[in-house]
Amino acid sequence: MNAKNPKPKTHFGYQQIDPKDKSEKVKYIFDNVVEGYDLMNDLMSFGIHRIWKRVAVEMSEIRPNSFFLDLAGGTGDMVKLMAPRLSHEGTAILSDINEKMLVSGRDKLIDLGISNFLSVQIDAQILPFKQDSFDVISIAFGLRNVTDKTKALNSILDCLKPGGKLIVLEFSKPTNEMLREIYDIYSFEIIPKLGEIVLSSEESYRYLAESIRMHPNQEELKDLFEECGFENCNYENLTNGIVAIHTGTKPKE
């Protein structure tokens, strides 16, 4: 490809890389942290991530007979909260592109006595389901790791039933300037050191901080939802915008 048509790039933290390389780099990051992933989530957020996820579940308006898909499901926290709300008529699917994370999540849920779910290794950009399959699709702290967010949102829209709902819980941009400065120091100075102490993986948690900064802010992500065809698009800031929950529905007609 010549200089007038440069090869497209994507973000991996602050690095610019070839899009085809991102999934392997993300896989390497999560392979390194799977053993202590839940512990680090608790330490980094002081346990508040559990409250954020509960709020997201409440906003999903899931019903007992819902067909529910959790993308980038990691160690199963969203399915853990969703599955008990389903009757025998409903279905919960835990999914992740990373095999080690998926196996960890599946085993954790089974150990907790939760059995009314399926686990599937899939790429959020290419969902292998029929059109109009799900009432609710969620993705918690995973969208920023997806190479092509537009492609993923289009695939999600296709798989939702008309009127079905997408819930995205993701790190975002703090609304308070002073908090933003403190959060930057915490993200770039404390969290990587914590990752080194707990998991001997400072690199993985430096990527985490960088990937958060490169992720679209609240209004940008809302605009992306709308551009992809979702309606009733909105977001709710939690903890002064450190995270935000974005929602959108598939048009009924």
Q: In the chain, what are the domain boundaries?
A: 10-64+137-175+205-249
Residue 75, C-beta contacts closer than 8 angstroms, at least 6 positions apart: 34, 37, 38, 101, 104, 105, 108
Q: Per the structure block, which two tokens stand in for 1? A: 């490809």
pLDDT above 70 (res 139): yes
Would you place residue 1 in the very low, low, confident or very high pLDDT band (cuts 50, 70, 90)?
Answer: very low
The answer to pTM > 0.85 is yes
Share of the chain above pLDDT 90, in %: 72
Q: Per the structure block, which two tokens stand in for 126? A: 């290419």
Q: Is 186 left (phi over 0), alpha (psi -120 to 50) or beta?
A: alpha
Q: Is 86 left (phi over 0), alpha (psi -120 to 50) or beta?
A: beta
CATH 3.40.50.150 fits 10-64+137-175+205-249, yes or no: yes
Check residue 6 and give its pLDDT: 58
